[in-house]
């Protein structure tokens, strides 16, 4: 989303109702990020911002070209940077401080790079190519994850003026130019639909500039077709009001009912939402004196719209860092604090940074020169701060819960000596936890045991589903594909031991055949056994299946029920009791990770260094130590399996 465009207001009539639409958009996004159960499609507010940005920026550039016969691209870029960067830099500096204090050690480098990518407006590509899952419920989110939309807009600002100049040189008539951009919009929308049909991950479709460009281009086309007539005042009419209210109602309804995983969203659904947004935008821009413009242009929505850009910048890091772990609050009380802090920070940013730069308040004698100086000097400061976040030791944090001040002495794992009869092989099976061992150990040379893996981020190798916020958590298509593929990989490689890491899924309520089994009930225990039976059947290609019990964790909760359940050591013990009972009945050997890591409760330190990089995954230092402890047990399992089969 972008800040309101003051340059446009100097050239075009100011329409308070446009700020009211910004208020609708930011409220949707804010509520979604607070708790998506309240507004599961609130993220569609970003789409409204995109259409509005495309419409307003095109009007600005067309007005300049019509008046002067040219577009000063460099001046346009400079103006956008002066208006957007000071507020962004302010927030990034604050995030750097918060990350230095609260971010877990293994996450600090990643967060530092997130900050840098946000500064240079490429964070959407970083998150798309990395593992930042926008709709994921368990992963610890980046405090600047929301800057993906700013990156798409800034990339649009970089390319679109050049493209408009190119098209204008070939096609003079504005309406014919709109046909070119309509074709580009159609190509973008088709890329999204085709990507979904071909199994592209939703996160990639969500973050990609290519698949989101049509939203901005819809606004572009409207501006080219209507030009300044879009801002011409018209008489109020019942039809205009009804149409505008209908479009807004459609947007709000979409925010209420839209499921991010629904196929319709990516097969034209977002196009319809953007067209509805365009209808509302055109009504607001027209300046008619109907009920729609009076309501959206009234003081409260107008004020929220004016601070929408800094509010968008602040709200997400506030939500990330003001959680139940740092505040001691939860539920409605926590949400009220988050909203209050976000609004206050947004207003202060607007009042003392944005407004002076835009000439709305007499705060600086020469706000433009000051903004230019701030931008030039503060950008290196953000880079320096990111470096500090990545490489310095922060103060001890109660949230992090690691380091020499832990109440428990550091864990010491003593491997049980064992010499295998011959070189053996093992394959790790599971989600990102066994992968965190593999990626940090695979480069090490172990003479007696070779290692491979078949893992998938956030995915289990069985068909059982967990319940998240009262609903079955649907697997991604790549997860479904992997579930079909891993047994064939095991059959092809034939490892001596297939080591399956018991997943976090088992601490949640489970669902099978549309029947929900509540944690702790006999039905829930039976579903765990059913899942283990399924894995055991599909593991025929291995010499033997082995299990690693679920360890205790202390993940910064970020107010997600799923994380809070995983942090509950009694739940973990209950799961392990069922797992070990099943293993005993089925003669499946067990690596007791819980006994090793949790004998005295959660212990975050192994040999003086953090055990986990984020409360869940092993670090580059801890993984080799953990594997050195596991390996003799795996070797023994392999020899025993060979002996049993000979």
| The listed CATH number (3.40.50.1110, 3.40.50.2300, 3.30.1370.160, 3.30.420.40) that belongs to domain 424-645 | 3.40.50.1110
Residue 616 confidence (pLDDT) above 80:
yes
Instruction: Kindly state the tokens that stand for 256.
Output: 């209420």
Range name among 78-87, 296-305, 405-414, 583-592 with the lowest pLDDT average: 405-414
Long-range CB contacts (< 8 A, 24+ apart) of 108-114? 108/389, 108/390, 108/394, 109/390, 110/142, 111/142, 111/143, 111/144, 111/389, 111/390, 112/386, 112/387, 112/389, 112/390, 113/386, 113/390, 114/142, 114/143, 114/144, 114/145
Instruction: Kindly state the tokens that stand for 282.
Output: 């055109």
Instruction: Kindly state the tokens that stand for 123.
Output: 């964070």
pLDDT in tens, 256-304: 999 888 899 999 999 999 999 999 999 999 888 789 999 999 999 999 9
Mean pLDDT value across residues 40-65: 95
Cβ atoms of 60 and 5 within 8 Å: the answer is: yes
Residue 524 confidence (pLDDT) above 70:
yes
Mean pLDDT value across residues 61-65: 91
Calpha distance 520→224 (Å, rounded): 61
Confidence of residue 365 (pLDDT cuts 50, 70, 90): very low
From residue 82, give the alpha-carbon distance in Å to each of 16, 95, 266, 367, 444: 23, 20, 35, 10, 50
Calpha distance 22→40 (Å, rounded): 19
The CA dihedral of 53, 56, 62, 65, to the nearest 10 degrees, is -90
Task: Collect all residues with Cβ–Cβ distance below 8 Å to 86 and sequence separation of at least 6.
Answer: 353, 354, 357, 371, 374, 375, 378
Calpha distance 225→230 (Å, rounded): 9
Calpha distance 68→71 (Å, rounded): 8
User: pLDDT value at position 364?
Assistant: 45
Which among 416-420, 472-476, 490-494, 604-608 has the top mean pLDDT? 490-494
Closest among 546, 538, 450 to 498, alpha carbons compared: 546
Burial environment of residue 346 by CB neighbours within 10 A (0 to 12, 13 to 18, 19 or more): buried
Share of the chain above pLDDT 90, in %: 61
SS (H, E, C) 248-274: HHHHHHHHHHCCCCCHHHHHHHHHHHH
From residue 58, give the alpha-carbon distance in Å to each of 61, 88, 125, 369, 510: 5, 23, 25, 26, 51
Cβ atoms of 549 and 502 within 8 Å: the answer is: yes
Find residue 119's DSSP bridge partners: none
Mean pLDDT value across residues 572-584: 97
Mean pLDDT value across residues 561-569: 81
Sign of the CA dihedral running 308, 314, 320, 324 = negative
Calpha distance 247→241 (Å, rounded): 10
- The pTM of this model reads 0.82
Cβ atoms of 401 and 552 within 8 Å: the answer is: no
Cβ atoms of 636 and 426 within 8 Å: the answer is: no
Q: Where are the domains of the chain?
A: 6-391, 424-645
Q: Which residue has the higher pLDDT, 420 or 442?
A: 420
Calpha distance 110→273 (Å, rounded): 34
Residue 557 confidence (pLDDT) above 70:
no
Residue 362 confidence (pLDDT) above 50:
no
Calpha distance 433→309 (Å, rounded): 38
Instruction: Kindly state the tokens that stand for 543.
Output: 């010499």
User: pLDDT value at position 197?
Assistant: 92
Q: Which residue has the higher pLDDT, 375 or 635?
A: 635
Mean pLDDT value across residues 338-366: 80
| Average pLDDT value over all residues in the chain | 87
Mean pLDDT value across residues 188-211: 93
Calpha distance 354→306 (Å, rounded): 10
Task: Collect all residues with Cβ–Cβ distance below 8 Å to 96 and sequence separation of at least 6.
Answer: 115, 382, 385, 386, 388, 389
E strands, 71-137, in order: none
Cβ atoms of 424 and 638 within 8 Å: the answer is: yes
Instruction: Kindly state the tokens that stand for 499.
Output: 């080591």
Mean pLDDT value across residues 495-511: 96
User: pLDDT value at position 445?
Assistant: 66
Cβ atoms of 494 and 452 within 8 Å: the answer is: no
Calpha distance 47→216 (Å, rounded): 8
| Terminal-residue alpha carbon distance, the chain | 66
Three-state secondary structure call for residue 404: coil
């Amino acid at each position: 989303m972008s800040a309101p465009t003051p340059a446009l207001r100097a050239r075009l009539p100011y329409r308070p109702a446009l700020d009211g639409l910004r208020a609708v958009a930011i409220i949707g996004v804010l509520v979604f990020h607070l708790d998506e159960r309240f507004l599961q499609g609130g993220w569609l507010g970003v789409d409204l911002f995109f259409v509005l940005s495309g419409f307003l920026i095109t009007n600005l550039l067309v007005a300049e070209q019509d008046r002067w016969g040219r577009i000063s691209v460099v001046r346009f870029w400079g103006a956008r940077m002066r208006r957007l960067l000071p507020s962004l830099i302010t927030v990034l500096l604050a995030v750097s401080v918060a990350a230095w204090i609260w971010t877990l050690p293994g996450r600090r480098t990643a967060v530092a790079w997130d900050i840098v990518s946000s500064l240079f407006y490429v964070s959407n590509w970083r998150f798309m190519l990395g593992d930042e899952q926008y709709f994921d419920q368990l992963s610890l989110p980046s405090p600047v994850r929301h800057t993906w939309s700013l990156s798409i807009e800034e990339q649009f600002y970089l390319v679109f003026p050049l493209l408009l100049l190119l098209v204008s040189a070939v096609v003079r008539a504005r309406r014919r130019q709109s046909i070119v951009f309509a074709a580009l919009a159609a190509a973008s929308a088709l890329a999204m639909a085709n990507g979904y049909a071909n199994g592209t991950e939703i996160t990639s479709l969500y973050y990609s500039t290519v698949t989101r460009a049509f939203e901005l281009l819809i606004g572009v086309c409207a501006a080219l077709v209507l030009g300044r007539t879009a801002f011409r005042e018209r008489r109020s009419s019942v039809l205009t009001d009804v149409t505008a209210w209908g479009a807004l109602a459609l947007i709000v309804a979409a925010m209420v009912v839209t499921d991010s995983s629904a196929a319709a969203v990516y097969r034209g659904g977002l196009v319809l939402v953007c067209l509805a947004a365009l209808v509302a935008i055109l009504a607001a821009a027209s300046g008619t004196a109907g009920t729609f413009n009076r309501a959206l242009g009234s003081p409260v929505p107008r004020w929220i719209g004016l601070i929408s850009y800094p509010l968008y910048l602040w709200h997400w890091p506030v939500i990330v860092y003001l959680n139940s772990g740092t505040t001691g609050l939860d539920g409605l009380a926590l949400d009220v604090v988050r909203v209050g802090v976000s609004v206050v920070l947004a207003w202060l940013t607007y009042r003392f940074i944005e407004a002076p730069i835009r000439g709305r308040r007499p705060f600086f004698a020469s706000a433009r020169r000051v903004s230019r100086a701030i931008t030039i000097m503060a950008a290196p400061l953000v880079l320096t701060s990111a470096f500090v976040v990545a490489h310095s030791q922060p103060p001890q944090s109660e949230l992090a819960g690691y380091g020499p001040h832990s109440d428990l002495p550091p864990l010491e794992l003593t491997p049980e000596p064992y010499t295998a009869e011959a070189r053996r092989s093992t394959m790790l099976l599971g989600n990102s936890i066994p992968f965190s061992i593999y990626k940090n150990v695979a480069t090490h040379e172990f003479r007696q045991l070779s290692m491979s893996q078949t893992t998938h981020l956030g995915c289990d190798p069985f068909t059982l589903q967990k319940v998240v916020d009262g609903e079955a958590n649907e697997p991604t298509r790549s997860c479904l594909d992997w579930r079909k593929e891993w047994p064939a990989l095991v059959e092809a490689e034939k490892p001596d031991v297939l080591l399956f890491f018991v997943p976090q899924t088992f601490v949640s309520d489970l669902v099978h055949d549309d029947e929900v089994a509540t944690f702790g009930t006999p039905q829930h225990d039976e579903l765990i056994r059913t899942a283990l039976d399924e894995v055991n059947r599909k593991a025929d290609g291995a010499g033997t299946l082995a299990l690693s019990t679920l360890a205790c964790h202390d993940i910064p909760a970020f107010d997600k029920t799923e994380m809070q359940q995983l942090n509950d050591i009694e739940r973990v013990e209950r799961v392990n009791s069922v797992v070990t009972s099943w293993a005993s009945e089925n003669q499946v050997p067990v690596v007791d990770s819980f006994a090793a890591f949790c004998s005295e409760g959660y212990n975050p330190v192994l040999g003086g260094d953090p055990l986990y990089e984020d409360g869940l995954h092993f670090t580059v230092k801890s993984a080799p130590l953990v594997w050195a402890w596991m390996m003799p047990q795996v070797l023994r399992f392999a020899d025993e399996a060979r002996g049993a089969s000979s």
